[in-house]
Amino acid sequence: MTPGRTLRRALPLAGEAASVWFRYNFLEPLRPAPSLPRAMHYISTHRCNARCAMCGIWKNQNPLSEELTPQALGSILADRLFSRMEYFGLSGGEPLLRRDLIQLTSTILETCTRLKRLSVTTNGLLPGRMENTLPELARLCRRAGVLLDVSVSVHGMGETLDRIYGVPASFERIERTAGLLLRMRTEGALTFSFNTVLLAENLESVRRLQGWARERTIPMSFVVGEQRQRFFTEGLESAFLETKGNPELIGFLASQAEDPAQSAVQMEKYRELVRVLEGRGPRRLSCYYAMGGLLLGFDGRLYYCSHSREIGDCTGRPAYDLYFDPGNLRYRKQALFGAECHTCPPYTRTRWEIEKDLPRMLLASVRRRMGRAAR
Ligand code: SF4
């Protein structure tokens, strides 16, 4: 690409980044109520084919009849609350168990007309279904001008992964899934990455997995396993790492923060994660839920974020009214922003969040370059 063409492409992006930085750091905090949300996560089902050691959702699977149909989802998304939606995450349970995933996706693309990116999170254990479904999802997204991104949850290799997933030969399935995603990435149909939960028994295995993924240029992101009511983790405590002052865990994350093979954005994320886990002050990196996001449950219940209490049921009351209900907004400001956010680990790094953290991300980029030059 010629320098002139690069500049012509870079300038609008830089302008947009500067505008998000200014608006969300200086204008939004002055508003009495938040703007319309621009990012959401939809948990399409609580049904799952895995039997994960650190998640109890599979023991509490919902009947099919409780899931929003594509029509019901469309009615909810038609509410003005969703009229500015740009980033849409779709997960489960396992979303590929939804036989109507293509219709659900069509509904999302037809109702959220400003969408820029659709992210699908899967356990990667159903390569056959993925081969049958993903090309059509990619086609729909391309037609709508929306970037399709797939996040595959993989927590190790070999027997370790089998034990964590409770599924035999799980890595063989992951390899087949990765093969499909690599082919589709080469065709420009999507982007994808591995998302790995750090647990009591997998630190060694994920190091091997990271080497395997790097050989194939698959980006990988680590999160620390968390015990949460939403994942029904009661009784599963032994699966999790001790997070407070655990030298092994901190050492692993600190090595990621200094790893020159990581992007500047990821390095900064791990630096911040270590800081929060070591109790050296509240979280400073932005969160898209706090900037203006929401979470929609498989049955139509609404939440401000993955740590929020339920704020109402969209099948009984308009989503806009729930989101802007004065009591709910008070809860958002006091219990979430005033307390929960301080210790909430920074895992997502969407473009929107990066733009809000612009000066810090530029510094992280300079720091990475200088670190590389010094090596
Ligand atoms: S609690 Fe965490 S996920 Fe929720 S808004 Fe705060 S930082 Fe974001």
Q: For strands 310-313 and 191-198, give the pairing.
A: unpaired
How many whole angstroms separate alpha carbon 336 and alpha carbon 48? Answer: 29
Long-range contacts of 331-339 (CB under 8 A, 24+ apart): 331/304, 332/34, 332/304, 332/308, 335/309, 336/290, 336/304, 336/305, 336/307, 336/308, 337/290
Q: What mean pLDDT value characterizes the chain?
A: 94
Q: Which two tokens stand for residue 171?
A: 């890595």
Q: In this structure, which residue's CA is closest to atom 6 in ligand 1?
A: 341
Average pLDDT, stretch 217-223?
96
Q: Where does the chain show beta strands of DSSP type E?
A: 39-43, 87-91, 117-122, 147-153, 191-198, 220-224, 293-296, 301-303, 310-313
The more confidently predicted of residues 369 and 332 is 332
* Contact between residue 355 and residue 21 where contact means Cβ atoms under 8 Å apart: yes
Q: Would the pLDDT of 375 be above 70?
A: no
Q: What pLDDT sits at residue 250?
A: 94
Q: Would the pLDDT of 372 be above 70?
A: no
Domains of the chain listed by start with CATH number: 37-241+286-356 (3.20.20.70)
Q: Would the pLDDT of 293 be above 70?
A: yes
Pocket test for ligand 1, best of 344, 352, 353 (most atoms within 8 A of CB): 344
| Residue positions counted in the chain | 375
pTM recorded for the entire structure: 0.92
How many whole angstroms separate alpha carbon 96 and alpha carbon 30? Answer: 42
Average pLDDT, stretch 116-140?
98
How many whole angstroms separate alpha carbon 180 and alpha carbon 124? Answer: 11
Q: Would the pLDDT of 133 be above 90?
A: yes
The more confidently predicted of residues 12 and 95 is 95
Q: Would the pLDDT of 371 be above 80?
A: no
Question: Which atom of ligand 1 lies closest to the CA of 288?
Answer: 8
Q: What pLDDT sits at residue 183?
A: 98
Question: Which atom of ligand 1 lies closest to the CA of 341?
Answer: 6
Q: What is the pLDDT of residues 238-253, one digit of tens each?
A: 999 988 888 999 999 9
Question: Could you tell me the distance, in angstroms and rounded to a whole number, from the CA of residue 303 to the centre of ligand 1?
Answer: 11
Average pLDDT, stretch 272-276?
92
Q: For strands 147-153 and 191-198, give the pairing.
A: parallel
Q: In this structure, which residue's CA is closest to atom 5 in ligand 1?
A: 290
Q: Would the pLDDT of 28 be above 80?
A: yes
Q: Would the pLDDT of 257 be above 90?
A: yes
Q: What is the pLDDT of residues 43-75, one digit of tens each?
A: 999 999 999 999 988 888 889 999 999 999 999
